[in-house]
Amino acid sequence: MEINRRAFLGTLLATSLIPLSFDALAIKNRSILLAPFRSQAGYFLGFLNRSGQLEAKIKLPWRGHGLAISPKIGQAVLFSRRPGRFAVVINLMTHGIQYEFATPANRHFYGHGVFSSDGKYLFATENDFENERGVIGIYDAQKNYIRVGEYPSFGIGPHEIILSRDGKTLIVANGGILTHPDFPRQKLNLYNMSLPSVFLIKRQE
Amino acid sequence: MVTLYKQISKFVVAPVLLGFLLVPVSIADPGRAEQQKIVINAYVDGYVLPAYQSFVEETKQLTKKLKMLCEDRQEERLVDVQMAFTSSVLGWSRVLPVRFGPIRLHNRMERVFFWPDTKSRVSKHTSRLLQEFEGKDIDFTHRSIAAQGLPALEYLLYSSISRNLLDAEKPNCGVAVSISKNIYRIATDILAEWNGDDGYRAVVLSPGPENQTYRTADEALAEILKSTSEILQLIASSMLNSSLQGSPDDAKAKRAPFWRSDLTLQSLQVTLGTVKTFVLEAHFSSLMKKEDQGLGKNLIFELDQALGVFSDIHLKNTSWVELVKTPEGHAQLTYLTNPVLGAHNLLAEEISQAMGINVGFNSLDGD
């Protein structure tokens, strides 16, 4: 797991991969890095060893962004980049796609998510674009990732989401930038954007 | 003035620097530096300043025509106003590729051109101005930006309430004059801040270690390339695709800018034509090696392909709202996005690389 980010990026550049982001996990006592990347042949999810060598790759129909990883259930979820609505579930043993799922039509992903510590639920940052508010979509990992509910993110443009070390609190960063999928990636509220904020959603005991 | 541009520099320099870290191209050639200066000079003095000057004049005329209408509410004066509005929209379309500098301060871009408007904020906030109008110039300091610019004026001039401009009992004409004056004031401020000894013109034309915004001509040039490629991306991805929605049945014509006045196509055509003109007149190609000169020709080819579509569409004499709903019109507009995105890709990647410049992230990119 202890991989120097700069050295790793240097290795990737030397192999002419263009990483779009990356996440790491230790599996079977060896480090694996998952990185969505772009090449002339399109978009991929790459599995790299700690030397930065590509061990496997999966072709994607869209540009991937962030990953949620659960070693507990042996799965990772790759989210499409905003304003994408799609995500794929990767089997970490076979390096294959197990499921594909999407947000409802009136939501899109912001590219990040996190598993509950037991791996049963996936929480994803999403845009309720018609109502101009951020939400956290809740997906049941034991039921083919059906969407079972959502929390408000208490802000606009939730992006990164992490789980506290004790597994009881979701920590959500609201970037504050309003977007709409009809106007991809255009910032629609620069004139009255509020400061980015962080909200904590604590599990009830 | 210089302090003001420090605010901008934070947003501009960081991505450009990152670009240079990733692709450390640096060509210390005095001949090249001189040529860069010529290109930047031609862009600023040959395009930016005259375009802003024209926009100032057009909005001044618009205000004058509106005042004349308020004094004598005749139908023909309303026609004069609408013609002046058309000139102002087309003037704005000419400056639209300049997405940096004074236009980025004090929300000026959004105040002149509040778009997109998915929540009908223009009509809501302009209606509020009508309700609260007290017969004197409106102070826009604490007013919604949706009611301050060209779309607000368009709503007063081209919607179901446009006849109220001819009614002396209604506040519409007075509100329209106030909005027009506001646009003129913003245009005047932008031009003034480009000019002057320490204006933005001087900032762009004098890169160096002491310059807070552009330390090298490469950085100034990267700004110009980024701004130009960004407007092309915006036209294809947002202005066109937001209306097209994949099929004529799903099309949402009212997502486009200036649909009420049916100036959408003219506005896009003028913006693309302006890009072609300054690419040619500022001699962008002169910054590329002989073997890369073909890229410049490819760029002009793509822009010509796009402009050719407008010529075909204008022959039909169909409004924007009808055009996007017809299969043939929809297909033509869908095709139009291809050469526009082609031109964007050429500028953002191949041409900038051939010039030895990495434009970095634009404002439509990011995490």
Residue contact B116–A185, C-beta within 8 A: no
Task: Using CA coordinates, name the residue in chain B closest to A186.
Answer: B364
How does DSSP assign B103-147, residue by residue?
A: GGSTTHHHHH-----TT-HHHHHHHHHHHH--SS----TTS-GGG
Residue A1: is its pLDDT beyond 80? no
Q: Smallest CA–CA separation between A114 and chain B, in Å?
A: 17
Residue A13: is its pLDDT beyond 60? no
Distance CA B8, CA B203 (A): 12
Residue contact A185–B365, C-beta within 8 A: yes
Best B96, B117, B118 residue to mutate vs chain A (most A CBs within 10 Å): B118
pLDDT classification of A4: cutoffs 50, 70, 90: low
Q: Smallest CA–CA separation between A191 and chain B, in Å?
A: 6
Q: Name the helix (H) or strand (E) containing B167.
A: none
Radius of gyration of chain A (CA): 17
Residues B233 and B365 sit within 8 Å (Cβ to Cβ)? no
Q: Which of A13, A185, A191 sits opposite B110 (nearest CB)?
A: A191
Return per-residue pLDDT of chain B as tens, 367 residues. Answer: 444 444 434 333 333 333 333 333 344 566 788 899 999 999 999 999 999 999 999 999 999 999 999 999 999 999 999 999 999 999 999 999 999 999 999 999 999 999 999 899 999 999 999 999 998 999 999 899 999 999 999 999 999 999 999 999 999 999 999 999 999 999 999 999 999 889 999 999 999 999 999 999 999 999 999 999 999 999 999 999 999 999 999 999 999 999 999 999 999 999 999 999 999 998 888 898 889 989 999 999 999 999 999 988 887 789 999 999 999 999 999 999 999 999 999 999 899 999 988 776 666 666 6
Q: If one looks up domain B47-205 in CATH, what number appears?
A: 1.20.1420.20
Residues of A in contact with B365 (CB under 8 A): 185
Q: Which one is the CATH code of A1-60: 3.30.460, 3.10.450, 3.30.70, 3.40.50?
A: 3.10.450
Distance CA A69, CA A141 (A): 12
Residues of B in contact with A188 (CB under 8 A): 116, 118
Task: Using CA coordinates, name the residue in chain B closest to A21.
Answer: B367
Residue contact B116–A191, C-beta within 8 A: no
Which CATH superfamily does the domain covering A65-202 fall into?
A: YVTN repeat-like/Quinoprotein amine dehydrogenase (2.130.10.10)
Distance CA B185, CA B130 (A): 21
Instruction: Evaluate whether ipTM surpasses 0.90.
Output: no
Q: Smallest CA–CA separation between B364 and chain A, in Å?
A: 5
Place of tokens 């970490």: A92
Distance CA A79, CA A20 (A): 12
Q: Smallest CA–CA separation between B119 and chain A, in Å?
A: 9
Residues of A in contact with B99 (CB under 8 A): none
pLDDT classification of A203: cutoffs 50, 70, 90: confident
Q: Are strands A86-91 and A75-80 parallel, antiparallel or unpaired?
A: antiparallel
Q: Please report the sign of the dihedral spanned by the C-alpha atoms of residue B299, residue B8, residue B14, residue A197.
A: negative
Task: Using CA coordinates, name the residue in chain A closest to B23.
Answer: A13
Name the 3-class secondary structure at B255.
helix
Sheet holding A86-91, edge to edge: A64-70, A75-80, A86-91, A96-102
Residue contact A191–B107, C-beta within 8 A: yes
Task: Using CA coordinates, name the residue in chain A closest to B119.
Answer: A130
A7's CB contacts (< 8 A; 6+ apart) are none
Residues of B in contact with A12 (CB under 8 A): none
Residues of B in contact with A65 (CB under 8 A): 367
Residues of A in contact with B110 (CB under 8 A): 190-191
B52's CB contacts (< 8 A; 6+ apart) are B95, B98, B187, B190, B191, B194
Q: What is the pLDDT of residues A47-101, one digit of tens each?
A: 888 788 888 899 999 999 999 999 899 999 999 998 999 999 999 888 899 999 9
Domain boundaries of chain A, sorted by first residue: 1-60, 65-202
Q: Smallest CA–CA separation between A29 and chain B, in Å?
A: 31
Between chain A and chain B, how many beta carbons pairs sit less than 8 Å apart? 40
More confident residue, A14 or B25: A14
Predicted confidence at residue B2, as pLDDT, reads 41
> Which value, to the nearest 10 degrees, does the dihedral of the CA atoms of residues A170, A176, A181, A184 take?
-120
Radius of gyration of chain B (CA): 21
